Amino acid sequence: MKIIPLFALILTLSCSSKNNSLNSEKIYVSLDKSQVGYISEFVNEIEYVILGYESSSYLSFPKKIKFDQNQNIYVSDDVLHSLFIFHPDGKFNFSLKPSGRGPREFVNISDFNLIEDNIMILDNAIGKIIKFDLSGNFIEEFRFRDKSTHFFQKNDYLLKFTSYRSEYENFNFMRYNLLDGKNSGYVPFPIEKESIGNFDLHYSFINNLKDKSVYYNIPYSYEVAEFDIESGDLQDLLVFDFDKYNLSTSYYELLKGGRVESEKFNSEVSEKKLVSEVATFLPFEKLNYISVVQGENFSRHTILMDKEKNIIFQRKDLSNDLDGVNLNRNPWSFTDDAIVYLDHASGFLDKYKNRNELKNDPTKSNLEEFVSKYDIELKDDSWVLAKYKLKDIN
């Protein structure tokens, strides 16, 4: 086990925190310009993959999905506290399961990342980060007792998202130097957001395997932080501005007041058709994919932006004109060329039965072949991945 100077890793903020925020230009998005669109405008093909139809690989409550450079699929399960690894065709490969609190063991998966040829698992229950290779073989581990919802660790640094907790001097991120224990705070947040919740979404720190950056889409904000993957330093802050649909920071105070106040928050967002956050940010090699929900479900906007921060595609309430199955939700993950959705088999079959009439080429989807091949499995407790492969529209 690696020995890390724990005294330095646990709340030494008064010694070393500093404001490393950037004065980034705002990215203005006029949602009133969004026209109703079709996925064929930016998606070239749809591929469906079934997961978990073998008894040894049943998923109970999928939490996060990631892909390695060979398109193998990694899914953490929030009930089974396990990491399931599938081949690209969805066939079960192996799993990493909780086994105890001793060396080389974990009891829970608070978060995980794929970094180069390694699997990194954070277990907050016992304060440990444990590393495996992509075949599931143990490499090393070290203790880290400063609890984190989401983390990213590479080289000699560790990044964590602070979940708007006040003990981090109102910084959204902490960067820890694992050699000397020094740390830095990045991206300050307003006092109205302090302690508004402990966020545990199916997004975490994300990186495109062909990119030299790691990104974090900050919940309940219009900000996406970009860190240098080698040093862990903040290198850019993408700040979106939705003009009249922006939510005043004073509204976030309502999220601290229990169910009644939270319902008031949701009501304000819904009635005024406001944007509470950037719902999805996915970095591809040539462009960034952004989804924005206006109101509670008034409109769902899809925006593509090039790496110079220019908007090159903007539509809303997309219809699936490739195979008619409308998922109508935010993506769960992404590969190097596709946005990825997840649906339980029962929900997927309902959408299949109620699919739209087509006005496009159905050969651009494997839907009919997929449903026919897995007719029995889709009636069982299985899960379906849908890969929407992007056109090279640059």
**Residue holding tokens 């998922």?**
327
Cα separation, 126 vs 317, in Å, equals 44
| Inside any domain, residue 385 | yes
| Inside any domain, residue 195 | yes
Cα separation, 293 vs 299, in Å, equals 6
- Greater confidence, 342 or 167? 342
| Inside any domain, residue 351 | yes
Please provide the average confidence, as pLDDT, over all residues in the chain. 88
If pLDDT is split at 50, 70 and 90, which confidence band does 4 have? very low
Determine the structural domain holding residue 237 and report its residue range.
27-390
Q: Quick: pLDDT tens for 213-271.
A: 999 999 999 999 999 999 999 999 999 999 999 999 888 888 887 888 888 988 989 99
Cα separation, 32 vs 76, in Å, equals 38
- Greater confidence, 359 or 246? 246
3-class secondary structure for the chain? CECCCHHHHCCCHHHHCCECCCCCCEEECCHHHCEEEEHHHCEEEEEEEEECCCHHHCCCCEEEEEECCCCCEEEEECCCCEEEEECCCCCEEEEECCCCCCCCCCCCCCEEEEECCEEEEEECCCCEEEEEECCCCEEEEEECCCCCCEEEEECCEEEEECCCCHHHCCEEEEEEECCCCCEEEEEECCHHHCCCCCCCCCCCCECCCCCCEEEEECCCCCEEEEEECCCCCEEEEEEEECHHHECCHHHHHHHHCHHHHHHHHHHHHHHCCCECCCCEEEECCCEEEEEEEECCCCEEEEEEEECCCCEEEEEEEEECCCCCCCCCCCCCEECCCEEEEEEEHHHHHHHHHCCCCCCCCHHHECHHHHHHHCCCHHHCCCEEEEEEEECCCC
Nearest to 316 by CA among 30, 48, 28, 46: 30
Nearest to 220 by CA among 252, 186, 178: 252
pLDDT at residue 256 in the model: 84
pLDDT at residue 186 in the model: 96
| Inside any domain, residue 9 | no
Residue 9 has pLDDT above 50, yes or no: no
How many domains does the chain fold into? 1
Q: Is the dihedral of CA 44, 384, 297, 248 positive or negative?
A: negative
**Residue holding tokens 């009133």?**
32
| Inside any domain, residue 340 | yes
Q: Quick: pLDDT tens for 111-151.
A: 999 998 999 999 988 999 999 999 999 999 988 877 778 99
Cα separation values, 276 from 42, 248, 330, Å: 25, 9, 14
Residue 15 has pLDDT above 70, yes or no: no
Tokens of residue 75, six digits: 């899914």
| Inside any domain, residue 7 | no
**Residue holding tokens 């020094």?**
182
| Inside any domain, residue 188 | yes
If pLDDT is split at 50, 70 and 90, which confidence band does 392 have? confident
If pLDDT is split at 50, 70 and 90, which confidence band does 88 have? very high
Q: Quick: pLDDT tens for 290-340.
A: 999 999 878 999 999 999 999 999 999 999 999 999 887 889 999 999 999
Residue 248 makes CB contacts below 8 A (sequence gap 6+) with: none
pLDDT at residue 261 in the model: 86
pLDDT at residue 274 in the model: 95
| Inside any domain, residue 113 | yes
What CATH number has the domain bearing residue 199? Answer: 2.120.10.30
Residue 5 has pLDDT above 80, yes or no: no
If pLDDT is split at 50, 70 and 90, which confidence band does 1 have? very low
State the pTM of this model.
0.91
If pLDDT is split at 50, 70 and 90, which confidence band does 105 have? very high
| Most confident among 139-148, 360-369, 380-389 (mean pLDDT) | 380-389
